[in-house]
Chain A
Amino acid sequence: MTILETGTIAAGSLLTVAGLTVEEVAAILAATDRLERMAAAERAKILAGRRIALLFYESSTRTRTSFELAAKSLGAMTTLVSDKSSSIEKGESLKDTGLTLRALGAECIVLRHANSGAPYLLAKTTGLPVLNAGDGMHEHPSQALLDLRTMLARLPGMSGRLVNAKTLEGVTVVITGDILHSRVARSNAMLLPRLGARVVLCGPPGLLPDDALGLGLDSKGGIEIERDFDKALKQAGSGGKAVVMMLRIQRERLAGLELDLEEYISRYQLDEERLMARAPEALVMHPGPMIRGLEIAGEVADGPNSAIEDQVRHGLGVRMALLVRALGAGGFESVTV
């Protein structure tokens, strides 16, 4: 091969939510339900003897543990290759690391990487199914799916609903914070409108450039920008069902903006007073890690509206489904929507 490999991406890969049809989303969530209902012993047979590599160039306790436990509860063998251990050879290319893992028998690679788009390179050069566990500022598709599942489980009147293009009609999701650097925001903003949700992005221009509206191009709109958090909350809280998704703020990113920490907190922190006054029914979400007292007040994170722990729990089930799908272990074809 003399020209850049534009190899095919293996079926079962999940690199971006944009690559999923609504039917596939439905199938993944249906499989999640099935897997969660299964007896543990039965579940442990599904991927018995299969080999999954967790390739983590960035540390992430939450996501790594979630994928690892998901794989193990399905009976798969996992190996963690991380930059913290010496197992990623210094200077070796991502392609060569991927080829080594493939030669060692890995059948699927879960990749966390600091560079946007790295999962595409790995998928194209290895031909293995690759699950994107977060790439740079780009996407975190499994997070968006677990967030969706959390909404379906927690929003009133949603459970048991079929997943289709109208499932989230009447739901407004306000995503607030550092959207520019957030792969979680991108994945959610691209996925949720396709199920009928209205997504309102909120934050100062430095953390939320107008270019973010481009995320809505292939979703027939569905994305809006509202810089005033109180207005965004009020709109969401007064019309139908509301979700408020808060994103982590790194203080050093505020440095370049015309905004200091105190000002950010006063304008964008989700605290109890703000929530109760504007959207008392709203479901509160946060992909973590969160900084209590900065983007979110502790009492809200722990309060009755909070779905933050549910998100973590649903992550396990969704990732089980994604691994089963990646390894072609069956069940996905039979799902009807």
Chain B
Amino acid sequence: MSDVLILNGRLVDPASGVDGERDLLLRHGRVAAVEMPGVLRAVKGKEIGKEIIDAKGMIVAPGLVDVHVHLREPGQTYKESIKTGTAAAAAGGFTSVVAMPNTLPVNDSVEKLEWMLDASRGACVKLFAMPAATFGSLGEEITDYHELQRVGAVGFTDDGKPVLHDRVMRAALVAAAGIGVPVSQHAEDTRLTGGCSMNAGPVAFRLGLRGMTVEAESKIVERDIRLLRDIEQHDGLRPHLHVQHVSTAKAMEAIRQARRAGLHVTCEVAPHHFTLTDEAIGEYDTNAKMNPPLRNDADRMAMIAGLMDGTVDCIATDHAPHALFEKEQEFERAPNGITGLETALGLALRVLHKGNGMPISRVIELMSAQPAGIVSLEGRGTLKVDSFADVVIFDPAAEWSFAAAKSLSKSRNTPFDGAPMLGRVMATICEGVIVYRG
């Protein structure tokens, strides 16, 4: 592994409070030095086998971390594989991704988790996983959290569906609290959403589609918060609830209150939920069908408010690839989900930074240090000396349009084909290896 010297860039590392011109030396997969301009240039050329990247005009930041991706392997590699999904991640500036367990079969055992994380799967960025919170994600019996953590589980979730029973969710929170990892919840009361394919409201009425109410999301969030409080009071534990892909103002407010009350609740918002509303469905465009669904503009603005005021801990893509033939169906029959790894940074910079005045360093924090913290990735999400050499270099001023046809994902299901993006990834480096060049 050759050294990499990154010169002339603007280093933005929120975890260490750096935002300014710095040069960076990566050696043996770690950050070897962070210096003021000029210091490292002296060593430049002295050694051979050194890659030098001129990052003039670029931002050099910790590699992005996504705590919520679907890589479809095992079982559905016609949609995506660990290899293609992580290639798409690298193209989007991500150096760490957390794979959800709703594969075929469901990732609910040590054997399956080890298989998934095995190097022979060909991941080009750091792959982590949250195995299922319950066996088969059936919501009945919790999996073996101790053993799964031993082989690398960074949290537990039945994503795609909720842990519905109070008793089971309580057991999951208690077990996860015992080993210091979060339970990540897909907050949807599926008893209220049967047959629903989009957000409830005037648009659903006009399109003649059954709508999911905001309460279907907020009720589960509120229930989970009650369980947290109860466990803190009665079990002497401090469980960590992570709420996935928050989409409603109502759930956001419940999370805000819970945090004020001192409970350990974190949450993520997906770029599509702060960018689009249910109007994007247009004429039944299944590329705008996901779960939770696109909501109305008040909910979209509440996501932005939550991101601005710190209620939201991180941006996560919920990258959910599907084959063309699956999306090319009647709206109600098409599967939920869109790809998102390659559009996340461009949308975050456009909507949050340019559109709402969020400092770039804060955008980076929401996409690196904070998600790394939620799943306790030691030495990632920062560029402090000795941390992993996970770096993204991007041009913050580049305005471009995303072309789905050029995606590195196997699937093309995105509502952002042709959409304007701000900030273009020029290089992604994972543990010192350049895994993507723009």
**B-contacting residues of A (Cβ < 8 Å)?**
1-6, 15, 93-95, 113, 115-118, 120-121, 125, 135-139, 180, 183, 186, 209, 211-215, 217
Contact = CB atoms under 8 A, between A and B. Distances in A.
A217 B206 CA distance: 10
B209 to A, nearest CB: 5
Contact of A186 (B208, B210, B333, B417): B208
29 contacts: A3-B405, A3-B412, A4-B287, A4-B328, A15-B283, A93-B325, A94-B330, A115-B330, A115-B331, A116-B284, A116-B331, A117-B207, A117-B209, A120-B283, A121-B329, A121-B330, A125-B328, A135-B208, A136-B209, A137-B208, A138-B207, A139-B208, A183-B208, A186-B206, A211-B200, A211-B202, A212-B202, A214-B206, A215-B202
Residue from A4, A15, A211, A214 whose CB has the most chain B CB atoms within 10 Å: A4
A116 B328 contact: no
A94 B330 CA distance: 8
B204 interface: yes
Interface string B7-23: 00000000000000000
A120 B284 contact: yes
Contact of A214 (B205, B285, B287, B404): B205
Nearest 3 pairs of A and B residues by beta carbon: A214-B202, A138-B208, A117-B284
B324 interface: yes
B283 to A, nearest CB: 5
Given A4-B285, A94-B329, A136-B332, A215 B206 contact: yes
A115 B333 contact: yes
A2 B204 CA distance: 28
Interface string B171-207: 0000000000000000000000000000011111111
Nearest to A186: B208
B413 interface: yes
Contacts of B332: 115-117, 136
Contacts of B324: 1-4
Given A2-B405, A4-B285, A118-B330, 20 more contacts: A1-B324, A2-B324, A2-B412, A3-B417, A4-B287, A15-B283, A93-B325, A117-B207, A117-B208, A117-B331, A121-B328, A137-B210, A139-B208, A211-B201, A211-B204, A211-B205, A211-B211, A214-B202, A214-B206, A217-B206
Interface in B346-405: 404-405
A235 to B, nearest CB: 23
B141 to A, nearest CB: 32
B324 to A, nearest CB: 6
B284 A4 contact: no
B286 interface: yes
Contacts of B331: 115-117, 121
Contacts of A180: 205
Contacts of A139: 208
Contacts, number: 91
Interface in B20-63: none
Interface in B68-93: none
B242 to A, nearest CB: 32
Contacts of B207: 116-117, 138
A94 B324 CA distance: 14
B340 to A, nearest CB: 15
B273 interface: no
Residue from A3, A95, A139, A212 whose CB has the most chain B CB atoms within 10 Å: A3
Given A4-B285, A4-B413, A117-B284, A214 B330 contact: no
A4 to B, nearest CB: 6
B295 interface: no
B283 A214 contact: no
Nearest to B204: A211
Residue from B208, B330, B332 whose CB has the most chain A CB atoms within 10 Å: B330
A304 B263 CA distance: 69
B319 interface: no
B330 A4 contact: no
Contacts of B272: none
Contacts of A214: 201-203, 205-206
B205 A4 contact: no
A94 B325 CA distance: 11
B327 interface: yes
A4 B208 contact: no
Contact of B209 (A6, A137, A209, A217): A137
Interface string B282-298: 01111100000000000
Given A4-B327, A211-B201, A116 B208 contact: yes
Nearest to A214: B202
Interface in B404-423: 404-405, 412-413, 417
A82 B333 CA distance: 19
Interface in B300-349: 324-325, 327-333
A120 to B, nearest CB: 5
Contact of B284 (A121, A183, A212): A121
A213 B413 CA distance: 32
Contacts of B412: 2-4
A215 B205 CA distance: 8
A246 B205 CA distance: 19
A117 B286 CA distance: 10
B330 A117 contact: yes
Interface in B194-242: 200-211
B329 A213 contact: no
A38 B182 CA distance: 75
Given A3-B412, A186-B208, A217 B328 contact: no
Nearest to A94: B330
B201 to A, nearest CB: 6
